[in-house]
Amino acid sequence: MTLRSTMSAWRVTRPGPIGDAPLELTTVAVPVPLDDELLVRTRVCGVCRTDLHVAEGDLDVHRAGVVPGHEIVGEVVAAGAGVTGFSVGDTVGVAWLRNTCGRCRYCLRGAENLCPASEYTGWDADGGYAEYTTVPAAYAYSLPAGYSDAELAPLLCAGIIGFRALRRSGLAHGGRLGIYGFGASAHLTAQLAIAEYDARVHVLTRSAAARELARELGAASWAGAYQEPPEPLDAAIIFAPVGDLVPVALRALDRGGILAVAGIHLTDVPILNYQRELFYERELRSVTANTRADGRDFLALAGRHRLSVTTTAYPLSAADRALADLAGDRVTGAAVLLCDP
């Protein structure tokens, strides 16, 4: 394959509300991989709410003019001299976690997601809203069989983060799980909870289309985001970036229940009432990125349990519209960008 010298890429040039056009479609040089990196031709890139937070400036700027996107399925087209384990022509996944120091107390205890020097695709380094991207080979994933590229892309963040949130929620086999918000990550997590934990899943979301999807995927109940589930919850996960839902979900927990908040960004949480929301040993936990072990474990489970991945496809040239639709709750399941061959 003859590599091109330039490519199309979306850059966050003016972080701000999505309606103010913070992204710009540009022509830039194809990146050159370092010795430990792969050069990947993007085939599909998922559209994540974190991309929206980067574009709108909810997250601090780590790289000026960054190319967003961290749910990338593509083909290795070149590799640095020090790369092992991957070859040109391989299909790989590129996810959110891009690099860690490997030496700090967190990395050494297996908590690399907490590494103070951690770096992220589409935030610290250019990501997948482009025809090519690079990734350190040690942070690339082999992917399970039986899925299309468009189905694989959301697994690389929506799936992995949802899986870590499920672990953080402490859900036991046969437990009662509440899910607040039902987008890309939540609809995968619900299926995994049912298949792997035999859980009764109660979905609470403002979107009527999402409630219908929850019904189709086997949820035990579905209702509005601020309604009460039909039974006390052993565990709950908030996927919507809405702090007002924290006390709502805590009140829905049974004694000893755990609430995990899955997002990287959350609006302010109201003042909590200790008796109503936290007493009886209810717990509130955050979720911070993921480890590579989380990614490998989740992708192995996705290979064993054929997940139904609901996607809405856009061409790469319409990435700004995809983010606007995500912001406006007009996407059912996961939005994905399809790159031209």
pLDDT for 115 equals 98
Decide if 50 contacts 70 (C-beta within 8 A). Answer: yes
Domain parsing of the chain, residue ranges: 6-142+310-338, 160-286
Contacts of 206 (CB under 8 A, 6+ apart): 224, 225, 329
Tokens of 25: 């479609």
**DSSP track, 101-128:** -S-SHHHHTT-GGG-TT-EEBTTTB--S
C-alpha triplet 66, 33, 78: angle, nearest 5°: 125
d(CA 145, CA 155): 13
Q: What type of residue sits at position 216?
A: E
Question: Considering the domain 6-142+310-338, what is its CATH architecture?
Answer: Alpha-Beta Complex (3.90)
Taking alpha carbons only, the member of 179, 230, 183 closest to residue 210 is 183
Q: Phi, psi at residue 66, to the nearest 5°?
A: -65, 150
pLDDT for 14 equals 95
Q: What are residue 39's DSSP bridge partners?
A: 78, 134
**Which stretches of the chain score pLDDT less than 70?**
1-2, 340-341
Contacts of 274 (CB under 8 A, 6+ apart): none
d(CA 135, CA 125): 9
Cβ count near 341 (within 10 Å): 7
pLDDT for 333 equals 87
pLDDT for 340 equals 65
**DSSP track, 41-108:** EEEEEEE-HHHHHHHHTSSPPSSTT------EEEEEEEE-TT--S--TT-EEEE-SEEE--S-SHHHH
The answer to whether the pTM exceeds 0.85 is yes
d(CA 54, CA 265): 10
- Pure H helices in the chain: 49-56, 105-108, 149-154, 160-168, 184-197, 208-216, 245-252, 292-304, 319-327
Q: What superfamily does domain 160-286 belong to in CATH?
A: NAD(P)-binding Rossmann-like Domain (3.40.50.720)
